[in-house]
């Protein structure tokens, strides 16, 4: 049973064609609403968490405990004026936030969500290559950054875009090599010891993951998590928008709702990356009674990873620019290749 | 098998549509300094005319220039931009294509066995020499 069949059952009195059409539409809207609500919850939790660490109270006026602050902020951003700079490259300027937003939303649809009691499996994209698909979609994000940086003739935006590209270029390679190690480990079944044929899809990796791969491959977990936080441009790595040097980096010339879309992209990336890490390394929705509670397991793991990333945001100082490219190429890349060798030997000999 | 991607297509259409609507209705609900400033002498409208929302502090075109902390913005000249880490970008392309070629290998890793594993290690070690070269020549510093 999955979400599609369940919604199809609700509307089955309309005939099979119409009800499947409605089911495809409604399951997508269901996931998008879930993602939107969790964005708002994440921003609220982040502001409260940051306030507690800095000995403040945080948002507490709008609604009970300030719960509606995020909604108020969204309306404020919509109501603000969008200043369009004079010397802009118009198409690139308008396209950049759309690319960021579209990419974030599409990548959330690809993720397998496990199953929840009544609805069954919440996975809505069924494909054999979702891992490759997700990496492909994520590689569209830098295009948005570059377009935002060079579309206006602002020095700060250009510097931010240059740093953003350096970040993506430096940390994508260790991320990919760690994912390669996971595909290798997943290519041999733990139960039968034979070759498996589903290790390129996220759902297949979770299926093969009898022991969480984070226990087998802790080095890969570390590298992947660091690269993920860096690609989400969270604070130890937020050189692209370091607000004390460049004003906000490549989003300097944006205001109003366009800036809000960039902000959603920032939080969306760390949320998505936490889903990604918990699927590849932490066993995702496997566990006791996983056909009823699987989604809950995945969600709890993801929230813990997001909270660790928030903790890094509020407690670590920003990494220096010249040490930044070094971290990706000089440390993470050799360690990830060592990790690849270890994974190969593990699959061939230790199992 | 193509039915698995329908949700993806619907997402692209839905998000695209909602973003289009958002930016279509945005100019009509947001504050806009291009709107003609109407003068009326009703008591309600006087307060509205005095309010800072309809009477923005910058009356000239300075807000249309790039933001530079209040200074007069100096735009960089048109033309090519120096990307000081272009060697790193070349390395990135090299490694990315490398990973792309290795994905099918990783998929079949267990049945291909030890020999192809050693081959692959040698295959990965070759671009590592390029990384070492870039490191020794100092291309990994931000400003060389």
- pLDDT of B52 over the 50 cut: no
Specify whether the CB–CB gap between A263 and A343 falls below 8 A. no
Give the number of residues written for chain B. Answer: 144
Rg (CA), chain A: 21
Specify whether the CB–CB gap between A237 and A230 falls below 8 A. yes
ipTM confidence score: 0.80
Residue A179 and residue A40 share a domain: no
Cα separation, B111 vs A194, whole angstroms: 9
Residue A236 and residue A162 share a domain: yes
- Distance in Å, alpha carbon of A52 to nearest chain B alpha carbon: 31
Residue A163 and residue A29 share a domain: no
Q: What is the mean pLDDT of residues A328-345?
A: 87
Supply φ then ψ for residue B143, to 5 degrees.
-115, 125
Q: With DSSP H G I counted as helix, E B as strand and the rest as coil, what are the percentages for chain B, rounded to 5?
A: 60, 0, 40
- Distance in Å, alpha carbon of B114 to nearest chain A alpha carbon: 7
- pLDDT of A42 over the 70 cut: yes
Q: What is the mean pLDDT of residues A112-129?
A: 83
Residue A94 and residue A65 share a domain: no
Q: What is the 3-state secondary structure (H, E, C) of A203-222?
A: HHHHHHCCCCHHHHCHHHHH
Residue A262 and residue A116 share a domain: yes
| pLDDT of A1 | 75
- Asked if A337 and B124 come within 8 Å (Cβ–Cβ), the reply is yes
- The minimal CB distance from A200 to the residues B1, B107, B111 is found for B107
| pLDDT of A76 | 82
- pLDDT of A322 over the 80 cut: no
Q: Which residue of B has its CA nearest to A323?
A: B141
| pLDDT of A304 | 92
Preferred mutation among B106, B113, B137 to probe A, highest tally of A CBs within 10 A: B106
- Asked if A156 and B32 come within 8 Å (Cβ–Cβ), the reply is no
Q: What is the pLDDT of residues A200-230, one digit of tens each?
A: 888 888 888 888 888 888 898 999 998 888 8
Q: Which residues contact A69 (CB under 8 A, 6 or more apart)?
A: A44, A47, A59, A61, A62, A63
Of residues B79 and A117, more confidence is placed in: A117
Of A154, A164, A123, which is closest to residue A262 (Cα–Cα)? A164
- Distance in Å, alpha carbon of A38 to nearest chain B alpha carbon: 17
Cα separation, A286 vs A291, whole angstroms: 9
Q: Which residue of B has its CA nearest to A329?
A: B131
Final residue before a domain boundary, out of A46, A61, A79: A79
- Asked if A28 and B4 come within 8 Å (Cβ–Cβ), the reply is no
Q: What is the pLDDT of residues A98-113, one digit of tens each?
A: 898 899 989 998 888 8
Residue A139 and residue A110 share a domain: yes
Specify whether the CB–CB gap between A187 and A207 falls below 8 A. no
Coil vs helix vs strand at B32: coil
Q: What is the mean pLDDT of residues A255-269?
A: 84
Q: With an 8 Å Cβ cutoff, is B17 touching chain A? A: no
Question: Angle, to 10 degrees, between the axis of helix A257-280 and the axis of helix A290-315?
Answer: 120
Cα separation, A219 vs A212, whole angstroms: 13
Cα separation, A8 vs A23, whole angstroms: 5
Q: With an 8 Å Cβ cutoff, is B27 touching chain A? A: yes
Domain that holds residue A311: 85-349
- Asked if B140 and A32 come within 8 Å (Cβ–Cβ), the reply is no
User: What is the b/e burial string over B101-134, where b = at least 16 CB atoms within 10 angstroms of the residue's CB?
Assistant: ebbebbbbbbebeeeebeebeeebeebeeebeeb
Residue A7 and residue A102 share a domain: no
- pLDDT of A325 over the 70 cut: yes
Least confident residue range of A94-108, A192-206, B42-56:
B42-56
Cα separation, A274 vs A300, whole angstroms: 11
If one counts the domains in chain A, the total is 2
Q: What is the pLDDT of residues A48-89, one digit of tens each?
A: 988 988 899 888 888 888 888 888 888 888 777 777 777 788
Residue A58 and residue A42 share a domain: yes
Q: With an 8 Å Cβ cutoff, is B101 touching chain A? A: no
Q: What is the 3-state secondary structure (H, E, C) of chain A?
A: CEHHHHHHHHCHHHCHHHHHHHHHHHHHHHHHHHHHHHHHHHHHHHHHHHHHHCCCCCCCCCCHHHCCHHHHHHHHHHHCCCCCCCCCCHHHHHHHHHHHHHHHHHHHHHCCCCEECCCEECCCCCCCCHHHHHHHHHCCHHHHHHHHHHHCCCHHHHHHHHHHHHHHHHHHHHHHHHHHHHHHHHCECCCCCCECCCCCCHHHHHHHCCCCHHHHCHHHHHHHHHHHHHHCCCHHHHHHHCCCCCCCHHHCCCCCHHHHHHHHHHHHHHHHHHHHHHHHCCCCCCCCCHHHHHHHHHHHHHHHHHHHHHHHHHHCCCCCHHHHHHHHHHHHHHHHHHHHHHHHHHHHHHC
Of residues A224 and B50, more confidence is placed in: A224
Q: Which residue of A has its CA nearest to B136?
A: A330
Residue A47 and residue A142 share a domain: no
Residue A97 and residue A18 share a domain: no
- pLDDT of B44 over the 70 cut: no
Structure tokens, A194:
């034979």
- The minimal CB distance from A109 to the residues B8, B131, B140 is found for B8
Structure tokens, A10:
């609700």
Final residue before a domain boundary, out of A55, A79, A103: A79
Q: What is the pLDDT of residues B86-141, one digit of tens each?
A: 888 888 888 888 888 888 888 888 888 888 888 888 888 888 888 888 888 877 77
| pLDDT of B48 | 57
Residue A66 and residue A89 share a domain: no
Residue A187 and residue A322 share a domain: yes
- Across chain A, what does the average pLDDT equal? 85
Final residue before a domain boundary, out of A50, A79, A108: A79
Cα separation, A138 vs A297, whole angstroms: 24
- Asked if A322 and B16 come within 8 Å (Cβ–Cβ), the reply is no
Please give the share of chain A, as a percent, with pLDDT higher than 90: 4
Question: Angle, to 10 degrees, between the axis of helix A90-110 and the axis of helix A257-280?
Answer: 30
Cα separation, A176 vs A336, whole angstroms: 9
Of A182, A222, A219, which is closest to residue A199 (Cα–Cα)? A182
Q: With an 8 Å Cβ cutoff, is B29 touching chain A? A: yes
Number of CB pairs, chain A paired with chain B, less than 8 A apart: 190
Specify whether the CB–CB gap between A98 and A274 falls below 8 A. no
Q: Let me know the angle formed at the C-alpha of A26 by A23 and A31, rounded to the nearest 5 degrees.
A: 125
- Asked if A329 and B89 come within 8 Å (Cβ–Cβ), the reply is no
């Amino acid at each position: 049973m999955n979400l599609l069949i369940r919604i199809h059952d609700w509307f089955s009195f309309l005939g099979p064609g119409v009800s499947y059409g409605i089911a495809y539409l409604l399951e997508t809207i269901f996931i998008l609403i879930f993602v939107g609500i969790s964005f708002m919850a994440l921003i609220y939790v982040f502001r409260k968490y940051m306030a507690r660490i800095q000995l403040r109270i945080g948002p507490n006026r709008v609604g009970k405990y300030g719960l509606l602050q995020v909604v108020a902020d969204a309306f404020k951003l919509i109501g603000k004026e969008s200043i369009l700079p004079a010397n802009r490259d118009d198409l690139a300027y308008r396209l950049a936030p759309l690319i960021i937003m579209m990419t974030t939303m599409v990548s959330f649809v690809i993720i397998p969500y496990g199953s929840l009691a009544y609805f069954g499996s919440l996975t809505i994209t069924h494909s054999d290559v979702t891992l490759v698909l997700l990496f492909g979609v994520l590689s569209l994000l830098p295009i948005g950054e570059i377009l935002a940086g060079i579309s206006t003739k602002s020095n700060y935006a250009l510097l931010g875009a240059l740093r953003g590209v350096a970040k993506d270029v430096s940390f994508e390679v260790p991320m990919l090599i760690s994912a390669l190690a996971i595909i290798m480990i997943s290519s041999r079944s733990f139960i039968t010891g034979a070759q498996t044929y589903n290790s390129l899809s996220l759902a297949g990796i979770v299926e093969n993951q009898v022991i969480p791969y984070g226990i087998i491959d802790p080095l890969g977990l570390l590298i992947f998590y660091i690269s993920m936080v860096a690609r989400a441009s969270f604070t130890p790595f937020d050189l692209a928008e370091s607000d004390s040097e460049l004003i906000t980096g490549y989003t300097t010339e944006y205001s109003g709702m366009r800036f809000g879309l960039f902000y959603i992209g920032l939080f969306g990336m760390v949320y998505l990356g936490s889903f990604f890490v918990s699927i590849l390394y932490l066993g995702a929705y496997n566990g006791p009674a996983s056909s009823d509670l699987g989604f809950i397991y995945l969600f709890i793991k993801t929230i813990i990873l997001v909270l660790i990333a928030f903790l890094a945001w509020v407690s670590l100082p920003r990494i220096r620019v010249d040490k930044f490219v070094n971290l990706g190429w000089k440390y993470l890349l050799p360690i990830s290749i060592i990790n690849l060798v270890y994974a190969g030997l593990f699959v061939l000999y230790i199992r | 098998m193509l039915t698995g991607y329908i949700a993806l297509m619907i997402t692209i259409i839905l998000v695209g549509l909602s973003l289009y609507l958002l930016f279509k209705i945005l100019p009509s609900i947001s504050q806009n300094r291009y709107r003609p400033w109407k003068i009326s002498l009703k008591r309600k409208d006087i307060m509205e005319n005095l309010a800072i929302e309809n009477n923005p502090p910058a009356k000239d075109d300075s807000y249309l220039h790039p933001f530079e902390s209040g200074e007069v913005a100096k735009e960089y000249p048109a033309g090519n931009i120096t990307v000081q880490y272009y060697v790193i970008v070349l390395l990135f392309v090299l490694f990315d294509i490398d990973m792309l070629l290795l994905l099918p290998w990783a998929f079949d890793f267990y049945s291909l066995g030890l020999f192809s594993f050693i081959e692959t290690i040698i295959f990965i070690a070759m671009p590592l020499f390029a990384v070492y070269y870039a490191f020794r020549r100092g291309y990994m510093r931000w400003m060389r």
